[in-house]
Structure 1
Amino acid sequence: MKNVIITGTSRGIGYELALLFANAGHNVLAISRKIPKEFIENQNIVCLGLDLADVTVTDKVKDFIDSTWQHVDIVIHNAGALLLKPFEEITADEFEYIYKVNVFGVAALNRVVLPFMNKGSHVVTISSMGGVQGTMKFSGLAAYSSSKGAVITLSELLAEEYKERGIAFNVLALGAVNTEMLQEAFPGYEAPLSAKQMADYIYNFALTGNTYFNGRVVQVSSTTP
């Protein structure tokens, strides 16, 4: 049984991941702005209704771990904010918000959770093919894709910094998955993979991927729009 923190669990991949871990008997801390009613009824899921752009999030997570689990085995940074807008029209506040959720929130949660992680723990950050250097890029996603590139570099650096403690950091750079976020970016596009299919892959990778990888960016993409 693992203690697993998952962000962005109100819909899509994060929602499916939380149910997969909980139904397999693991303890899940589900962090998202909205709380699905199915989670409230699941004895293995504890919900925190929080926005990762809020600086008080980390205090509440720390208090929970201190008072209950005492240690964390897996963190999956799945939450993401997306903005589809021409670069010249993006305001400073909009650009900052994307980074608060996609980058600063990841860093802040890592900072709080790491003292509770032991050898063999695994931190998985969900990025995007759009954040990988040299891949196809799309107009209107300057804030989103650049933020996803930033968390890739952050994870690579933390993998080096924490390797002596045996804590692994890996990134899954996802291609097209049929989620609400994909429809926001590419309305009408039908991806070949469902949120449940991708959640199955991430579930297994989170449990075993650190046996084989540390500091790796794994491209999980059958297609990009």
Structure 2
Amino acid sequence: MNILITGASRGIGRELVLKFAQNPNSTIVVLTTNSEQLNSLAIECLEVFNNSIIFHSINFLSENINQELAKLFESINLNFDIVINNAGKLINKPFLQNTLKELEELNKINIYGPYLVCQQIIGKYANKNCHIINIGSMGGVQGSVKFPGLSIYSLTKAALANLTECLAEEFKDTGIKINCLALGSAQTEMLEEAFPGYKSTVSAKEMAEYIFQFSISSGKFFNGKIIPVSVTTP
């Protein structure tokens, strides 16, 4: 099984890599911006599970990201069974204080990145019945509770959810399944940075376990769905 995970240097992404690495027959490709943390993750996978992950540093803010991704996937030359678009950025800041630069950065990381990865995978590098999971947020779900300071983050996650529905419809006859998991809070470094002092009841490891199981087993039952993964209501 070939797995691609973006944004895996910490938090849920890192836990996902460790979970998939337990299967010695899996080939795991990781794309993230922090190569130093990826080095330690690769060592841990090798020492604990005897599984060598393939990792590449990628900057979704690059002006040439499309060409860089095309060249990267060509060099990797694998067809994937599972793709998890986990890379993301969160800013907690009052709406009137948000800058155009911040808006552009979150759009590039939270929307353009998954969009371009999906374009590469669906176009050339998807195995039959490939399951693509876009990691969204409850903040991007219509009718869910919204929080002050998360306007940019929430709008990008809403766009990702909509993209999921569009792609699933467009490629429904190919066998590729595309779903979006709208996550509630999980105790990650990103959450701690955005909400200092807040403690989630769900750990990064627990959330990764759910995503892992969903990615393996749920492509048969879901396509084009935005699935809330949250203990809060509505």
The alignment's TM-score, normalised by the length of structure 1, stands at: 0.93
Q: Which residue of structure 1 aligns with residue 118 of structure 2?
A: 110
Cα gap change, 1:29 to 1:59, in 2 (>3 Å)? farther
Note if 1:216 corresponds to 2:225. yes
Q: Which amino acid aligns with 2:58?
A: L
CA contact (8 A) 1:65 1:71 kept: no
1:49 aligned partner, one-letter code: S
CA distance in 2, matches of 1:80, 1:137: 18
Structure 1 equivalent of residue 214 of structure 2: 205
The share of aligned pairs that are identical, in percent, is 41
Instruction: Please report how far the alpha carbon of residue 93 of structure 1 lies from its aligned counterpart in structure 2 after TM superposition.
Output: 1.3
**What is residue 33 of structure 1 aligned with on the other side?**
33
Report the CA distance shift for 1:141/1:149 in structure 2 as closer, same or farther (over 3 A): same
Structure-2 change in CA distance of 1:56 and 1:28 (3 Å)? farther
Structure 2 stretches lacking a partner, 5+ long: none
TM-score normalised by L of structure 2: 0.90
Whole-Å separation in 1 of the counterparts to 2:179 and 2:82: 11
Aligned: 1:48 with 2:56: yes
Contact 1:62–1:113, Cα closer than 8 Å, also in 2: no
**Deviation string for 1:43-91 (max 9, x for gaps)?**
4311111122224444444444434443111110111111111111111
Q: Secondary structure at the match of 2:96?
A: helix
Q: Does the 8 Å CA contact 1:6/1:76 hold for their aligned counterparts?
A: yes
SS of residue in 2 equivalent to 1:190: coil
Unpaired stretches in structure 1, ≥5 consecutive residues: none
1:150 aligns to 2:159 (yes or no): yes
Residues 83-136 of structure 1: per-residue CA shift (max 9 Å, x gap): 111111111111011010000111111111112113210100001101100000
Distance in 1, Cα, partners of 2:210 & 2:42: 25
The letter of the residue matching 1:5 is L
Deviations 1:176-203 (A, max 9, x none): 1011111122221111111001101101
Partner Cα separation in structure 1 for residue 152 and residue 73 of structure 2: 32
CA distance in 2, matches of 1:188, 1:196: 19
> Given the alignment, which residue of 93, 115, 130 partners 1:85?
93
